[in-house]
Structure 1
């Protein structure tokens, strides 16, 4: 959802704290898990947690609906509830972090390409950092402060990575990893603290390969453990309160990824999320994509049509990026399954319009839509249209794509002309 597509390290770093946005509704509260004290560095009662909103049962009860609203893209409702929390706790990092998360999810449907929320998002995260740092400086055992510091720096690292501000991304990454490591002792206090470590364990060995510029940062931290990391993420997905939903979103990425290669399991997790948050454009788009990849034609068609319908209704988060996906899938099925070329052309043209209006013409679905339109044009003996669509492929497709070679071959001057 989410996600290491923007900046691998940002994904690792934001994990332990995303849960502040990921709590379940109040009617799904779970009993506290029993923790074996010999498995954690600090026994739960050994730390003074007075004043920690993260572990406050009343705050959890109050914010359950607010976070559910945010995940269901009812941003205005969620913001009013988070602002109410800020009025009562103006010196605590949690309300600023939650307001930042609410802003972050407004950015998610565009795959973080929309920059209009950047300044507001960074302002909220910077304020969360300032409030958390004040608490940490006063008490080095304040693991709640570490939780928010790792979260805020991790999100900032991810955004800076997306914006190609690598120096800032590296600095924020180093700081976030440091606070993740310092909060390791808090594992026994709450499963919330496990998610960051779980994702670090799972991805640590890949980060240096994908982003060599981060190797100097990673030298100061323990090596990862893929098996342990996956186990920790699954634990949080099952037992977490704040981090449960975020863990499931991360689990989708893990299960469908090149390591686990288990798209069926990813579909199952995504289906559960969509049942809880039916108006989350990002999750619904992910579900459509997973259905397309796994060959579930009826579900992909149904979900894609729902995406387009919600775009037409102007629902929050349903915009050009989701439209580009949905229109391509419907075009593909109409072309290759139903042989309805008129409908296929209409869908592909909608995909192209969505991509062009959002400035995403370098994306593959835009290229494939043009390539498939060229093939339809050839079937209809419309050479002028075929050349036009193949020319768009040449201008926008990566050289590694076979469709690029196909387009270049067609556009090559033919003998005898």
Structure 2
């Protein structure tokens, strides 16, 4: 935590020097438009900063965000971008407890306070309502990741309140459409996936999943501040909900090319290559990930390693190259244990494939504890549990 605070303090100290070195910026910006979201000169000036952020060069990005805070101290934009920057620092493993969580919430709280001050002057200020909806929306995502359901629900309720005020104003800016897109898709998705929540959602307006996807495509190709966030959701929807693997792969390849140092996009690209059966490329990309973990690159840690090592293990298993496959499966198990993700599919299938191999090689003493772990972490009706019991029976027969 001290390092984070010191880093932020250093950035604040650096702001006057940055501004002195870039006095021409004020001339470029000229008279600020009423709405910063519409200020194209500002967008041009901070394009590199946004790219730095998504490419995990947070220090360079935040120097620029501090410039925004310095020049527009009463506007939520700088604080909102700082919040997103902190969010992406946590993104490689959102389940992991981190002091960055409180820092993220503080940035979004400040953005909310700045936007509320704007609302007091003009209740219908579209831009202020956009930042309120976005800030509360991000806080809701954070609390849902942490399973703080009460806080997540309250943040979501407030996000929807302000989203309703911006609804129908997408002609103002493609940024506005992002909230509508998310609501249209996920309001239906939640009803479908979580039927117990339907009574809670009864009084909420109904969405339209197909429209939500089309809106997200529009944001992904036309927005500036929310473009990458829209692509993130679009990739996940296409990959895991619409089963449009090759479309998801196309987006994943594009994002990996745009932001080659982003560990989330890197591993998502590897996952889509593996899912699409493009094993040679999946192996190459997974090896890149493992190399970056070894080198201690920012954001590359156990979660990325769990994905990459499993893909490498399974690719080598399919080739019947068990020396490599065994080592990578064991690595996947180690990463899963470190992350306390023993019930995850990557962990369970690593245990199962190794157990099958050990039974085949008559290494029963190594297979038995793995089969016990499979049974402990799966339900009896699950296929992996059934296979584990079958292998246990096979071991008993062979030991007689």
Cα distance 1:165–1:109, how it changes in 2: closer, same or farther (>3 A)? same
CA distance in structure 1 between the partners assigned to 2:89 and 2:76 by the alignment: 20
CA distance in structure 2 between the partners assigned to 1:174 and 1:378 by the alignment: 53
1:383 maps to what in 2? 364
Q: What SS is found at the alignment partner of 2:167?
A: helix
Q: Are residue 87 (structure 1) and residue 70 (structure 2) matched?
A: yes
1:105 maps to what in 2? 88
CA distance in structure 2 between the partners assigned to 1:164 and 1:281 by the alignment: 24
TM-score normalised by L of structure 2: 0.86
Q: Are residue 282 (structure 1) and residue 264 (structure 2) matched?
A: yes
Tell me which of 305, 308, 313 is aligned to 2:295: 313
CA distance in structure 2 between the partners assigned to 1:331 and 1:230 by the alignment: 34
Cα distance 1:331–1:256, how it changes in 2: closer, same or farther (>3 A)? same
2:138 maps to what in 1? 155
CA distance in structure 2 between the partners assigned to 1:320 and 1:352 by the alignment: 11
1:343 maps to what in 2? 324
8 Å CA contact 2:94, 2:145 repeated in 1: no
Cα distance 1:79–1:217, how it changes in 2: closer, same or farther (>3 A)? farther
* Deviation readout 1:136-160 (Å, 9 max, x if unpaired): 1221121111111111111111111
CA distance in structure 2 between the partners assigned to 1:381 and 1:214 by the alignment: 49
TM-score normalised by L of structure 1: 0.83
Query: What pairs up with 1:16-415 in 2 under 5 angstroms?
Result: 50-211=33-194, 215=198, 218-258=201-241, 260-336=242-318, 338-411=319-392, 414=396
8 Å CA contact 1:170, 1:214 repeated in 2: no
* Deviation readout 1:230-284 (Å, 9 max, x if unpaired): 22111112222222222222211122233x3211111111111111111111011
Q: Which runs of 5+ in 2 are unaligned?
A: 1-31
CA distance in structure 2 between the partners assigned to 1:309 and 1:414 by the alignment: 41
Report how many residues are paired.
367
Q: What SS is found at the alignment partner of 2:213?
A: helix
CA distance in structure 2 between the partners assigned to 1:392 and 1:215 by the alignment: 36
Cα distance 1:131–1:148, how it changes in 2: closer, same or farther (>3 A)? same
8 Å CA contact 2:92, 2:303 repeated in 1: yes
Cα distance 1:81–1:216, how it changes in 2: closer, same or farther (>3 A)? farther
Structure with more contact order per residue of length (Cα contacts < 8 Å, sep ≥ 6): 1
Cα distance 1:328–1:219, how it changes in 2: closer, same or farther (>3 A)? same
8 Å CA contact 1:85, 1:95 repeated in 2: yes
Q: RMSD over aligned Cα, in angstroms?
A: 2.0
* Deviation readout 1:167-214 (Å, 9 max, x if unpaired): 111111111011111101421111111111012112222223434575
CA distance in structure 2 between the partners assigned to 1:220 and 1:111 by the alignment: 31
